[in-house]
Structure 1
């Protein structure tokens, strides 16, 4: 007696080529390099090129991002002390981005997905760090952190 046909499964798709796997990380890096290139070419220290921070304009307080464009401009020109003086937290962010991007690119080239699953406590800690940085840079004692 013939057996009834079993379920038919589609064939496994062929693994993506290394070039396809790296397309997204390389595309993201191209956008970042383009943005840094623009900020390097168009000096944020000259007025009229970029909008003023709304928080600074309406409250007179520096937000965690204030000085970020000047920091990126100095960083793109290799002036790390000036970049740190404009926004030290942004420079730390550039380093964190570089490490995460490198891990992403390596994992993508090996065909392994990149997953960042942080516990809520880490997100709360990051928010607290931004808040503390904002408060300190607006106090006289933290004037070295102001741009």
Structure 2
């Protein structure tokens, strides 16, 4: 897909930090919404399609309730809803902070990308969490 001349001009005029700052604002707005519109009450949010189709929990099941608990400063409640989400929040925050930093202060040299090992490890952790949280002995990983 090619950009039209108008889109190209708009992109050139935008500050490089616009993307990460807009994404951060959307994330904060989502957390505020989940804080005030309680996901524990039925009918406010749609049911997880994976849970509805298979009856098993996906890696993201319980994430909205975990965010709700975190915005209420309830770390234990958040861990009970989705321990993986709580564990990944610092990683996401660090990555987002680096994105903002490099957008405001572009590096003079080459930026070292993450080694593929870490990406494969992340995928392995997510898939393992997905399988294990649905096994009978690990019912403590199920949301709520």
Describe how 1:1-147 pairs up with structure 2 within 5 A: 20-112=15-107, 117-147=113-143
Question: Match of 1:5?
Answer: none
- Cα distance, 1:62 vs. partner? 0.5
- Cα distance, 1:77 vs. partner? 1.4
Distance across 1 between alignment mates of 2:72 and 2:24: 18
Distance across 2 between alignment mates of 1:27 and 1:37: 15
**Larger radius of gyration between Structure 1 and Structure 2:** 1
Distance across 1 between alignment mates of 2:82 and 2:42: 18
Gaps of 5+ in 2: 1-11
Contact preservation (8 Å) 1:68, 1:90: yes
Distance across 2 between alignment mates of 1:28 and 1:54: 25
- Cα distance, 1:83 vs. partner? 0.7
